[in-house]
């Protein structure tokens, strides 16, 4: 692939991310949560292994949210009128985001409960 194609590929990808950020409130919420969690991870000096899991989890949630936007847009294009299959597609894509978000919360609790408890003095290190 030529250098120009690489640049235009990245450009289109960033256009998609920017569009989703502008139009999807849930994505903005997830991005704000990601920034807060990364700040907390730096504050509590979590281990390298925990950093890997945390960054992977954040990327999965954001990627799922972007795929959800893609499914919504495609359904709005091909099925502007209500259709049971469009409903299944949109609801399932939203379900995928929900699954990643629930597991992200569980992973966050597993990583942060100990440093938070120690910081508040509710647990000995």
Ligand X SMILES: Nc1ncnc2c1ncn2[C@@H]1O[C@H](COP(=O)(O)OP(=O)(O)OP(=O)(O)O)[C@@H](O)[C@H]1O
In this chain, which stretch among 8-16, 44-52, 67-75, 100-108 interacts with ligand X, using CB under 6 A? 67-75
**Residue whose pair of structure tokens reads 């091909």 in the numeric block:** 78
Cα-based distances in Å from 66 to 15, 58, 96:
12, 12, 11
Q: How far is the CB of 68 from ligand X (least distance, A)?
A: 6
84-87 long-range contacts (CB < 8 A, ≥24 apart) are none
Say whether residue 87 binds ligand X (CB under 6 A).
yes
Residue window 17-56: x/- pattern of binding to ligand X, with contact defined by CB under 6 A: -------x-x------------------------------
Q: How far is the CB of 93 from ligand X (least distance, A)?
A: 8
How many angstroms separate the first and last alpha carbons of the chain?
A: 53
**By the 8 A CB rule, do 84 and 90 touch?**
no
Active site residue 72: no
**Two tokens, residue 75:** 């359904």
Measured from the CB atom, the residue of 21 and 94 that comes closer to ligand X is: 94
Catalytic positions:
65
């Amino acid at each position: 692939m030529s250098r120009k194609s690489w640049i235009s590929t990245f450009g289109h990808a960033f256009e998609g991310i920017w569009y989703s950020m502008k139009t999807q409130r849930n994505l903005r919420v997830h991005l704000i949560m990601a920034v807060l969690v990364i700040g907390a991870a730096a504050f509590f000096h979590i281990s390298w292994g925990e950093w890997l899991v945390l960054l992977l989890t954040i990327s999965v949630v954001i990627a799922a949210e972007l795929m959800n936007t893609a499914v919504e847009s495609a359904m709005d294009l091909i099925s502007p009128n209500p259709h049971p299959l469009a409903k299944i597609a949109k609801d399932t894509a939203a379900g995928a985001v929900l699954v990643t978000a629930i597991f992200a919360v569980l992973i966050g609790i597993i990583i942060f409960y100990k440093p938070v408890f120690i910081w508040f003095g509710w647990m000995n290190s």
